[in-house]
Amino acid sequence: MKKGYNELKMTVDAKSVNESFCRAAVGAFIAQLDPTVEELSDIKTAVSEAVTNCIVHAYAEQDGKIYIQVRITDGVYTEIKIRDTGCGISDIAKARQPLFTTLGGDRSGLGFTVMESFCDVLRVRSKPGQGTTVVIEKRIFGKR
């Protein structure tokens, strides 16, 4: 394994009770980089949004799994992949527009916007009927 490389992989059921666990687990893993409170909060918020999207949109009322992979490289770069095998997104560009939601009601349609504002890079890949992968990248400058 390369020096300065560390990885976490986990799978959870797509249930709302697991959102806070995912947030905490990723935050605890990232803590080894000694991030500032703001950096840690940014990552945890982005993870919460991505996991919530899996629960609410990808699987809706169905059972499903959420796959999370966190990589730390060179002691400062984080890459967080959050993947589902749910319904997928037919128009990613439209889904990433602020206030767009397919559910209406109390959903604000700001999930991707929030994720993007708290990370350096946000990539979204999806195929209808096959699921979605969200990749969040953030450099941690930390308390150094």
- For the chain, the structural domain boundaries read 6-139
Q: How confident is the model at residue 38 (pLDDT cuts 50, 70, 90)?
A: very high
Tell which wins on pLDDT, 117 or 131: 131
CA angle, 63 then 90 then 51, to 5°: 40
Tell which wins on pLDDT, 1 or 108: 108
CA-CA distance, 34 to 76, in Å (whole number)? 10
**Of the listed ranges 3-12, 70-79, 90-99, 113-122, the one predicted with least confidence:** 90-99
**Which pLDDT score is estimated for 1?**
45
Closest CA to 65 of 125, 129, 10, 12: 12
Please provide residue 41's backbone torsions phi and psi, each rounded to the nearest 5 degrees: -65, -40
Q: How confident is the model at residue 5 (pLDDT cuts 50, 70, 90)?
A: confident
- Is the model's pLDDT at 81 over the cut of 90? yes
Place of tokens 């666990």: 21
3-state secondary structure (DSSP) of residue 113: helix
Amino acid letter, residue 63: D
CATH topology of domain 6-139: Heat Shock Protein 90 (3.30.565)
Integer CA distances (angstroms), 144 to 11, 29, 31, 54, 76, in order: 32, 18, 13, 35, 11
Tell which wins on pLDDT, 111 or 41: 41
CA-CA distance, 75 to 85, in Å (whole number)? 31
**Which pLDDT score is estimated for 28?**
97
Residues annotated as catalytic are 49, 53, 107
**Which pLDDT score is estimated for 116?**
87
- Is the model's pLDDT at 26 over the cut of 90? yes
Amino acid letter, residue 88: G
pLDDT digits (tens, 9 = 90+) for 91-122: 777 776 665 565 555 555 566 777 888 899 99
